[in-house]
């Protein structure tokens, strides 16, 4: 049975904050189910319509050749059998996706059954979540072997998106330039098939990925510059790019309607500024026509022939694939770290650096003052020598000040904070320091380095955390102030008092001072 927060003093898990980052994790299986159902519906509608049309054609043509009728029936039967096999595959994928959704729902439901962060079940759940986030990071960075190993060791195959990222990597790897023998098109075939399968989702987010892929196929055909490939490029332009341009231009004309010529030109200019608009596509198609006359060496079309377009296509494909599957563009590890570090980052975490910089500045100013004194002394001596030399040849000796008399040399290295911390291990928080040993931001050689890249913590309402037990101080566990000005929670100070010899003495763990429990004062949070 889980411990209650009242019995352990530990807070309950922050469900809203935790589940805020779990939306893509929970939403992805349902997006996949929706895509599978749309695919099944599209296949059924298409194949049944074809079978119905074939049967109606046979019924209307009574005097047709029996052999021809038999061939049409055989063709319809073969297509229906192929449909059955395809639906069986989709059904198996649907069952797998449903199982994944069920496992993920149960994983999130386990969190609601945990009433306190002191429960061992919360540590187990958090460890599983950390493994999920690490696997997501590895899959996005191409460390597939390490991701597979961690998935197997942690036994979380249904909690990670290995299959999805494997498909994305496979299609992304196919978007590479090929030799002239490929005749163009094969390098974009997988990506175009993926676009056809996910066309409704791509249209919902106004993606122009398919248009860019078609453009690249045309460009590769024009790059080869043989008579056959140029004819193929013209046919490809008419078959794919021109219809896509008209498809986007027709709704625009219906929406705008009859408008004055000046307003029409203004609207067209604004639309051309929109990269995904119909005028932008018309402009791109117009430039593509120029490739038929200009070779890759032409500077006018260097941007279209440039090989970096492949890298742009790969990045665009990955971005669209993550978007339609409700996945964030950056790894969940980055999101969780930036949010967590930002919520913990306070000026007190870097107060020791400010003191070190102040000590260094004081030492620099003292040394600069000593140097100025030396320069002034030398200048006065030279001036006296000049005055004397004007009255005759006199031997002048300019005394040099003793370096040991300068202020900078009187600063003992052991008295400066810079030298005081030099003997300790780097990044180690020493006793008496203002840093919290349990704060990851205060560890300058660890997460404190990453925390420099995130903004400071912003709290609309004050939240005071006890340095001793890490609990949030509230009206149920109010803060108490020691005579030396340090503030801790009542529960932490009561624990210290109970462990003392007389049961009434408080030992400040940071300074070692002893105080009576009756000398503590209550502090009110504003």
Instruction: Check whether residue 298 and residue 221 sit in a common domain.
Output: yes
Contact in structure between 521 and 469 (CB atoms under 8 Å): no
- The winner for highest mean pLDDT among 234-243, 272-281, 439-448 is 234-243
User: What is the three-class DSSP state of 56?
Assistant: helix
High-pLDDT (> 70) share of the chain, %: 73
- What are the tens digits of pLDDT across the range 265-322? 555 555 444 444 445 788 889 899 999 999 999 899 999 999 999 999 999 999 999 9
Instruction: Check whether residue 94 and residue 237 sit in a common domain.
Output: no
Per-residue pLDDT, 186? 67
Per-residue pLDDT, 356? 58
Instruction: Check whether residue 172 and residue 138 sit in a common domain.
Output: no
Instruction: Check whether residue 152 and residue 282 sit in a common domain.
Output: no
Contact in structure between 278 and 245 (CB atoms under 8 Å): yes
Query: Is the confidence at residue 393, as pLDDT, over 50?
Result: no
- What are the tens digits of pLDDT across the range 152-181? 999 999 999 999 999 999 999 999 886 533
Length of the chain: 526
Q: How far apart are CA 496 and CA 294, in angstroms?
A: 84
* CATH number of the domain residue 514 falls in: 3.30.40
Question: Does a structural domain hold residue 406?
Answer: no
Place 66 in a pLDDT band, splitting at 50, 70 and 90. confident
Per-residue pLDDT, 473? 87
- 505: domain range? 464-522
Place 255 in a pLDDT band, splitting at 50, 70 and 90. very low
Average pLDDT over residues 72-96: 93
Smallest CA-to-CA distance from 212 within 228, 188, 230 is with 188
Average pLDDT over residues 416-433: 43
Question: Does a structural domain hold residue 47?
Answer: yes
Average pLDDT over residues 195-218: 92
Q: Which of 105-109, 120-124, 255-259 has the lowest mean pLDDT?
A: 255-259
Domain termination site, one of 286, 314, 329: 329
Contact in structure between 151 and 160 (CB atoms under 8 Å): yes
Place 458 in a pLDDT band, splitting at 50, 70 and 90. confident
Instruction: Check whether residue 191 and residue 318 sit in a common domain.
Output: yes
Per-residue pLDDT, 469? 85
Number of domains in the chain: 3
Q: Is 95 exposed, middle or buried (0-12, 13-18, 19+ CB in 10 A)?
A: exposed
Question: Does a structural domain hold residue 404?
Answer: no
Place 372 in a pLDDT band, splitting at 50, 70 and 90. low
Query: Is the confidence at residue 415, as pLDDT, over 80?
Result: no
Mean of the per-residue pLDDT values for the chain? 79
Average pLDDT over residues 38-49: 92
Instruction: Check whether residue 58 and residue 138 sit in a common domain.
Output: yes
Instruction: Check whether residue 317 and residue 172 sit in a common domain.
Output: yes
Instruction: Check whether residue 497 and residue 473 sit in a common domain.
Output: yes
Domain termination site, one of 299, 329, 359: 329
Question: Does a structural domain hold residue 446?
Answer: no
Query: Is the confidence at residue 368, as pLDDT, over 90?
Result: no
DSSP state of 349: G
Instruction: Check whether residue 179 and residue 273 sit in a common domain.
Output: yes
Phi, psi of 480 (to 5 degrees): -120, 140
Instruction: Check whether residue 138 and residue 174 sit in a common domain.
Output: no
Question: Does a structural domain hold residue 278?
Answer: yes
Per-residue pLDDT, 247? 58
Question: Does a structural domain hold residue 480?
Answer: yes
Instruction: Check whether residue 152 and residue 16 sit in a common domain.
Output: yes
Query: Is the confidence at residue 420, as pLDDT, over 50?
Result: no
Question: Does a structural domain hold residue 90?
Answer: yes
Question: Does a structural domain hold residue 390?
Answer: no
**Cα–Cα distance list, 499 to 476, 503, 506 (Å):** 22, 6, 9
Instruction: Check whether residue 176 and residue 118 sit in a common domain.
Output: no
Query: Is the confidence at residue 110, as pLDDT, over 80?
Result: yes
Domain termination site, one of 160, 189, 216: 160
User: What is the three-class DSSP state of 462?
Assistant: coil
């Amino acid at each position: 049975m889980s411990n209650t927060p009242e019995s352990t003093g530990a807070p309950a898990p922050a469900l809203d904050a935790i589940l805020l980052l779990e939306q893509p994790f929970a939403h992805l299986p349902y997006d996949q189910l929706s895509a599978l159902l749309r695919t099944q519906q599209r296949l059924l509608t298409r194949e049944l319509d074809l079978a119905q049309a074939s049967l109606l054609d046979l019924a209307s043509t009574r005097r047709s050749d029996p052999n021809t009728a038999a061939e049409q029936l055989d063709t319809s039967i073969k297509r229906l059998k192929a449909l059955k096999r395809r639906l069986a595959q989709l059904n198996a994928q649907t069952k797998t996706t449903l199982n994944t959704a069920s496992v993920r729902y149960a994983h999130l439901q386990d969190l609601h059954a945990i009433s306190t962060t002191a429960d061992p079940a919360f540590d187990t759940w958090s460890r599983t979540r950390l493994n999920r986030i690490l696997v997501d990071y590895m899959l996005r960075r191409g460390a597939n072997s390490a991701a597979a190993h961690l998935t197997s060791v942690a036994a979380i195959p249904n909690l990670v998106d290995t299959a999805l990222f494997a498909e994305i990597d496979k299609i992304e790897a196919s978007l590479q330039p090929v030799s002239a023998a490929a005749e163009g098109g094969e390098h974009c075939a997988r990506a175009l098939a993926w676009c056809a399968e996910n066309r409704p989702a791509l249209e919902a987010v106004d993606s122009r990925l398919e248009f860019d892929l078609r453009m690249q196929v045309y460009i590769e055909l024009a790059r080869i510059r043989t008579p056959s490939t140029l004819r193929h490029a013209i046919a490809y332009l008419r078959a794919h790019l021109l219809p896509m341009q008209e498809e986007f231009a027709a709704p625009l004309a219906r929406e705008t309607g009859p408008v004055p010529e000046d307003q029409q030109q203004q609207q067209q200019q604004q639309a051309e500024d929109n990269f995904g608009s119909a005028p932008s596509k018309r402009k791109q198609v117009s430039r593509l026509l120029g490739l038929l006359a200009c070779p890759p060496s032409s500077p006018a079309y260097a941007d279209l022939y440039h090989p970096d377009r492949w890298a742009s296509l790969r990045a665009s494909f990955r971005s669209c694939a993550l978007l339609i599957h409700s996945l964030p563009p950056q790894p969940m590890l980055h999101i969780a770290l930036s949010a967590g570090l930002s919520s913990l980052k306070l000026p007190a975490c870097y107060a020791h650096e400010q003191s070190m910089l102040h000590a260094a500045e004081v030492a620099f100013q003292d040394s600069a003052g000593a140097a100025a004194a030396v320069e002034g002394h030398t200048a006065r001596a030279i001036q006296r020598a000049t005055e004397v030399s004007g009255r005759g040849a006199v031997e002048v000796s300019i005394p040099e000040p003793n370096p040991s008399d300068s202020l900078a040399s009187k600063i003992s290295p052991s008295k400066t904070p810079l030298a005081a911390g030099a003997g300790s291990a780097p990044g180690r928080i020493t006793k008496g320091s203002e840093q919290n040993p349990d704060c990851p931001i205060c560890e300058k050689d660890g997460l404190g380095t990453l925390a420099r890249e995130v903004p400071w913590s912003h709290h609309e309402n004050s939240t005071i955390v006890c340095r001793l037990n890490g609990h949030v101080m509230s009206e149920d566990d109010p803060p108490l102030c020691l005579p030396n000005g340090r503030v801790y929670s009542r529960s932490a100070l009561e624990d210290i008092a109970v462990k003392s010899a007389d049961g009434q003495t408080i030992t400040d763990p940071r300074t070692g001072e002893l105080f009576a429990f009756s000398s503590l004062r209550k502090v009110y949070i504003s």
